[in-house]
Amino acid sequence: MCSGGKILLTILTNNAPTGITTKLSVTPEASLVASSALLHIPGLRTYGDLEERSRRASEHYEGELERRKPQETTSSGGDLSLTAPDTERNVSTLQACMTGMQNIASVSNEAGFAACYNVLDWHENMNGMFQADLRFFQISSAAGQFVNVPMNNITIQLLYPNSTQYSVLTNVKRSVSTLPQRQSASEPTEIQQYSLVGNFQMQLDLEKLNNTQIMSLLIPQIILSAKVEGTTVTSQVASSDVVYFVAGQFLDGMTPQLAAKAADPVMAADAIMASQGFVLPGTTFGVFPVGLIITSTWCLLFFLAYGLGTIGRIRHRDIYRKRIAVTTGRSGRR
């Protein structure tokens, strides 16, 4: 469905009696900040040439993670076979996230959620292929319109920079029916965990970018939504509600100030602009489909004017020939 330059595709699934509803929302816009979104939908893939990407990913993770005795998982659709993080890495990531959660005393979203986002593996020479870990924690009790909202009515929407594409490798939920109360003042409650895998779908020159700019291309924006008495309510998980890069890659030298800078969508837009190669002006459509529409309109007007002019000249030529034939005493017929 296309309306006003914006495409919206929504798929909801709720396969368990409890847990968080998943949603796929793709919203390309005429802006470099426009994003694509993906959450856990078994067997669903969003990027082209999937077989080739799956083969490359399988070869990489099979050799890279074998020494950690991984537990292999295959999607229900059979089109993507990757290795999920092993127990040891999962525990160490959880411990790092729990430590990071101690720095979050309160959150701004009404659901009371905080998140922990880490890139566990990243490979520049494979078109930016990476594996990420995303966890949600209950920091405080739900407030406002999210009070007493059942857990399975909450939709988590991830919006990534349009340079990046993702798929969910694993998804683990806590068995709860409503937003839980905090167990203690110092112990957040883990609600849900995602293992993500993806890469850059654009041809980016990463040598032009620093680590902060690269991180900005890997950080999603998180939006929570729910149906309350027939009305959709939303609440965004601000960057201050998220702990970034406390495990895995980009750990060295990471500070809360640097993470907040990388989480800014403007940083991602600037990084995309800076990493793209030189394009000869006039050889591409700057904004699609607006550029195509404008160019096609001008071409139509040109051919219309040129065609009408040609027809007019042909008719004028025939009239002139007949007039000359009459003036010279001929009938004009041959």
Band the pLDDT of 119: cuts 50, 70, 90. very high
Residues 6+ positions from 166 with CB-CB distance below 8 Å: 38, 46, 132, 158, 160, 196, 197, 198, 220
For the chain, the residue count is 334
Domains of the chain by residue range = 2-275, 279-334
Q: Is the backbone peptide bond immediately before 289 cis, with ω within 30 degrees of 0? A: yes
SS3 320: helix
Taking only the tens place, the pLDDT of each residue in 42-67 is 333 333 443 454 455 445 444 433 33
pLDDT of residue 87: 82
pLDDT of residue 255: 85
Burial of 154 (0-12, 13-18, 19+ CB in 10 A): buried
pTM given for the model:
0.58
From the list 168, 164, 156, 160, the residue with the least C-alpha distance to 196 is 168
Token code pair at residue 105: 């005393």
Q: Tokens 């998140």 sit at which residue?
A: 115
User: To the nearest whole percent, how much of the chain has pLDDT over 70?
Assistant: 66
pLDDT at 88 over 70: yes
Cα–Cα distance for residue pair 79/152, rounded to 1 Å: 28
Phi, psi of 113 (to 5 degrees): -90, 145
SS3 107: coil
Phi, psi of 291 (to 5 degrees): -60, -40
The arithmetic mean of pLDDT across residues 275-294, rounded, is 75
From the list 39, 59, 237, the residue with the least C-alpha distance to 136 is 237
Token code pair at residue 51: 């077989």
The residues pairing with 192 across neighbouring beta strands, listed in sequence order, are 136, 173
Cα–Cα distance for residue pair 164/200, rounded to 1 Å: 4
Residue 243 vs residue 10, higher pLDDT: 243
How many CA atoms are closer than 13 Å to the CA of 259, on its beta-carbon side?
22
> Please, are residues 243 and 251 in contact by the beta-carbon 8 Å criterion?
no
> Please, are residues 25 and 9 in contact by the beta-carbon 8 Å criterion?
yes
pLDDT at 309 over 90: yes
Cα–Cα distance for residue pair 136/146, rounded to 1 Å: 16
Cα–Cα distance for residue pair 83/296, rounded to 1 Å: 47
